[in-house]
A = this chain, B = another copy of it.
Amino acid sequence: MKILIIGAAGMIGNRLAKSILKDGLSKKAHDLTLFDVITPTLGSDINSITIKTGNIADPMVAKELIANKPDIIFHLAAIVSGAAEAEFEKGWHINAQGTWHLLEEIRKFHIASDGFYTPKFIYTSSIAIFSGPYPNAVDDDFAPNPETSYGAQKLVGEVLINDYTRKRFVNGVALRFPTIVVRPGIPNKAASSFYSSIIREPLNGNEAILPVSDTLRHWFASPRSAIGFLRHAAILDLTKLGKRRALNLPGVSCSIADQIISLEALAGAKISKLIKRQADPVIESIVTRWPQSFIPERATSLGFIADDSFTQIIQNYIDEEIEPGLFNSQ
Interface residues of A (CB under 8 A from B): 88, 107, 131, 141-147, 149, 152, 155-156, 159-160, 162-163, 166-167, 243-244
Distance A155 CA – B166 CA, assembled complex (angstroms): 16
Distance A167 CA – B142 CA, assembled complex (angstroms): 24
B243 touching A145, Cβ below 8 Å: yes
Q: Known interface pairs A131-B243, A243-B131. Does A162 touch B146 (Cβ–Cβ under 8 Å)?
A: yes
With A142-B143, A145-B243 known, 16 other A-B pairs at CB within 8 A are A131-B243, A141-B143, A143-B143, A145-B162, A146-B159, A146-B163, A147-B166, A149-B167, A152-B159, A152-B160, A152-B162, A152-B163, A155-B159, A156-B156, A156-B159, A159-B159
Quote the shortest CB–CB distance from A209 to chain B (angstroms).
29
**List of B residues within 8 angstroms of A88 by Cβ:** 107, 167
Distance A146 CA – B107 CA, assembled complex (angstroms): 19
**List of B residues within 8 angstroms of A244 by Cβ:** 145
What are 6 A-B contacts defined by CB distance under 8 Å? Answer: A146-B163, A147-B166, A147-B243, A152-B160, A152-B162, A159-B159
Q: Known interface pairs A145-B243, A145-B244, A167-B149. Does A156 touch B162 (Cβ–Cβ under 8 Å)?
A: no
Distance A163 CA – B147 CA, assembled complex (angstroms): 7
Quote the shortest CB–CB distance from A219 to chain B (angstroms).
18
Closest to A244 in B: B145
Distance A46 CA – B88 CA, assembled complex (angstroms): 41
A149 touching B163, Cβ below 8 Å: yes
A160 touching B166, Cβ below 8 Å: no
**List of B residues within 8 angstroms of A163 by Cβ:** 146, 149, 152
Quote the shortest CB–CB distance from A239 to chain B (angstroms).
15
Closest to A145 in B: B244
Contact among B142, B143, B145, B156 with A160 in the assembled complex (CB-CB below 8 Å): B156
Quote the shortest CB–CB distance from A4 to chain B (angstroms).
23
Distance A88 CA – B108 CA, assembled complex (angstroms): 12
Between A141, A156, A244, the greatest number of chain B beta carbons within 10 A of the residue's beta carbon is seen for A156
Distance A155 CA – B157 CA, assembled complex (angstroms): 12
Closest to A142 in B: B143
Closest to A243 in B: B147
Distance A153 CA – B181 CA, assembled complex (angstroms): 35
**List of B residues within 8 angstroms of A160 by Cβ:** 152, 156
Quote the shortest CB–CB distance from A131 to chain B (angstroms).
7
Distance A249 CA – B69 CA, assembled complex (angstroms): 45
Distance A250 CA – B147 CA, assembled complex (angstroms): 26
A144 touching B143, Cβ below 8 Å: yes
**List of B residues within 8 angstroms of A156 by Cβ:** 156, 159-160
